Amino acid sequence: MNETFQILAGFLDKFSDDVVGHAREDIPADLRARLRDFAQGTLDDAERARLCLSMKENPQWIPALAMEARTPRGERDAAR
Amino acid sequence: MEPRLNTSRSEDRQLAEACLAQDPVALEELRRLHLSPLRGILTNRGANVTEAEDLIGGLWADCTVGRGERGPLLEKFNGKCSLHNWLATVATHLLYDQLRRKKFHAEITPRSPEERVEEVLERLGALMENPSDSDLTRLLLASLEQAFGGCPPEEHLMIRLLYFHGISQRDLCRMWRWSEPKISRRLKATMEEIKQNTLSHIAQADPDLKLQWEDFEELCHTQQLAFL
């Protein structure tokens, strides 16, 4: 399944204009705080679902969430 | 994706180079191992026997001999995928173009096999000029975008984070407070929906083109690695 997803993602990445969101600076402070909460796993189910819907409608916010979610390398290595 | 034939990519590149050098043994191997099997692939994907023969005839005529300012087709083969998959991808683009022409120009003037192969060569030239903008590329892309856009919001975001932004599944577990098996199950179910929706979109867009999921995946893979 992983390989299939990677193939599809690679195809979209190469040929589609609008799949990969691009980071933008103008994310409101309250949204950035919610993204941080989401990344840390502290949103409740309903709030997380609402935010997922917003992210689907506003994919330009996804890179900011990804930045918040990315585990620091040292911490990730220690967990292996 | 594994090549369907038991030949390595370096062997494929050597074969292509030998064919371009007009080695008769290599040319026979190309015809026997790589071009003849396209007949079954093309008929499975919607060609009738005559169309498949014409397309193979066009590819055979173009593989090692350039036309005008255009070099031979095999010069475009970069060895990043198997020669088999590469030729099948080129042939499928030509097939889809053929199916669309047939749909929009219903009356077909009887033509000789030579004239039909000549027409394939003309269409191959047009494909090589702008492969990223071919009708088939647009269909694959539209079908996949539509299926991807139809994913539920949470799974849609998981897929983007995992496969477009390099976030690990362990990170997703933390964010959703779900176990890894639960995340895996949701992703697996979403993949099945993407497959069904993609193929359904293709079938609706053009019922004459017959693609299985393995075909679709192979076309996407070959196209991003090595298409023309």
pTM for the predicted model, two decimal places: 0.87
Residue B4 lies in a domain: no
Residues B125, B22 share a domain: yes
Average pLDDT over residues A71-77: 54
Residues B124, B19 share a domain: yes
Residues B86, B23 share a domain: yes
Q: What residues contact residue B196 under an 8 Å CB cut-off, 6+ apart?
A: none
Cβ contact (<8 Å) for A53 and B153?
yes
For residue A80, the number of C-alpha atoms closer than 13 Å in the C-beta half-sphere is 8
Which residues of chain B lie closer than 8 angstroms to A7, CB-CB?
1, 217, 220-221, 224
Beta-bridge partner residues of B67: B70
Model confidence band, residue B106 (pLDDT cutoffs 50, 70, 90): low
Residues B124, B148 share a domain: no
The residue with tokens 């494929």 is: B12
Residues B186, B120 share a domain: no
Residues B122, B29 share a domain: yes
Question: How many structural domains does chain B have?
Answer: 2
Average pLDDT over residues B112-126: 85
Residue B228 lies in a domain: no
Could you give the CA distance from residue B91 to residue B41 in angstroms, rounded to a whole number?
9
List the single residue in A with minimal CA-CA distance to B2: A3
Q: What is the pLDDT of residues B132-147, one digit of tens each?
A: 889 999 999 999 999 9
Residue B116 lies in a domain: yes
**CA B219 remoteness from chain centre:** 3
Which residues of chain B lie closer than 8 angstroms to A15, CB-CB?
132, 137, 141, 223-224
Q: Is the pLDDT of residue B4 over 50?
A: no
The residue with tokens 């050597």 is: B14
Model confidence band, residue A11 (pLDDT cutoffs 50, 70, 90): very high
pLDDT of amino acid B107: 58
Residue B87 lies in a domain: yes
Residues B145, B121 share a domain: no
Task: Print the domain residue range for B66.
Answer: 9-129
B109 Rama sector, left if φ>0, alpha if ψ -120 to 50, beta otherwise = beta
Residues B179, B122 share a domain: no
pLDDT of amino acid B88: 96
List the single residue in B with minimal CA-CA distance to A34: B175
Could you give the CA distance from residue B161 to residue B91 in angstroms, rounded to a whole number?
35
Residue B84 lies in a domain: yes
Task: Print the domain residue range for A27.
Answer: 3-79
Residues B168, B80 share a domain: no
- Residue A23 sits at the chain B interface (C-beta within 8 Å): no
A27 Rama sector, left if φ>0, alpha if ψ -120 to 50, beta otherwise = beta
pLDDT of amino acid B210: 97
Q: Which amino acid is at B45?
A: R
The long-range contacts involving A20-23, CB below 8 angstroms and separated by at least 24 positions, are: A20/A59, A20/B160, A20/B164, A21/A59, A21/A60, A21/A61, A21/A62, A21/A63, A21/B160, A22/A60, A22/A63, A23/A60, A23/A63, A23/A64, A23/A67
Which residues of chain A lie closer than 8 angstroms to B171, CB-CB?
69-71
Q: Which amino acid is at B120?
A: V
Q: What are the two backbone dihedrals, phi and then psi, of residue A23, each rounded to the nearest 5 degrees? A: -60, 140
List the single residue in B with minimal CA-CA distance to A63: B165
pLDDT of amino acid A78: 57
Last residue of a domain, one of B97, B129, B161: B129
Model confidence band, residue B101 (pLDDT cutoffs 50, 70, 90): confident
Which residues of chain B lie closer than 8 angstroms to A65, CB-CB?
157, 161
Q: What is the pLDDT of residues B199-218, one digit of tens each?
A: 999 999 999 999 999 999 99
Average pLDDT over residues B25-43: 96
Residue B2 lies in a domain: no
Residues B100, B189 share a domain: no
Q: Is the pLDDT of residue A79 over 60?
A: no
Cβ-nearest to B220 among A7, A39, A71: A7
Is B140:B217 a contact under the CB 8 Å cutoff?
no
Residues B119, B37 share a domain: yes
Cβ contact (<8 Å) for A70 and B167?
yes
Cβ-nearest to A15 among B137, B188, B217: B137
Question: How many structural domains does chain A have?
Answer: 1
CA A11-A12-A17 angle, to 5 degrees, is 135
Q: What is the pLDDT of residues A29-53, one digit of tens each?
A: 999 999 999 999 999 999 999 999 9
Last residue of a domain, one of B129, B163, B178: B129
A74 CA: distance to closest CA in chain B (Å): 14
Counting one residue from A and one from B, how many pairs have CB atoms under 8 Å apart?
108
Last residue of a domain, one of B108, B129, B150: B129
* Cα separations in angstroms, B64 against A19, B16, B74, B194: 38, 9, 6, 39
Residue B90 lies in a domain: yes
- Percentage of residues of chain A with pLDDT beyond 70: 78
What average pLDDT does the structure give for chain B? 91
pLDDT of amino acid A41: 95
Could you give the CA distance from residue B63 to residue B72 in angstroms, rounded to a whole number?
5
Cβ contact (<8 Å) for A11 and B154?
no
| B107: number of Cβ within 10 Å | 4
Residues B119, B188 share a domain: no
Model confidence band, residue A72 (pLDDT cutoffs 50, 70, 90): low
Q: Is the pLDDT of residue B80 over 50?
A: yes
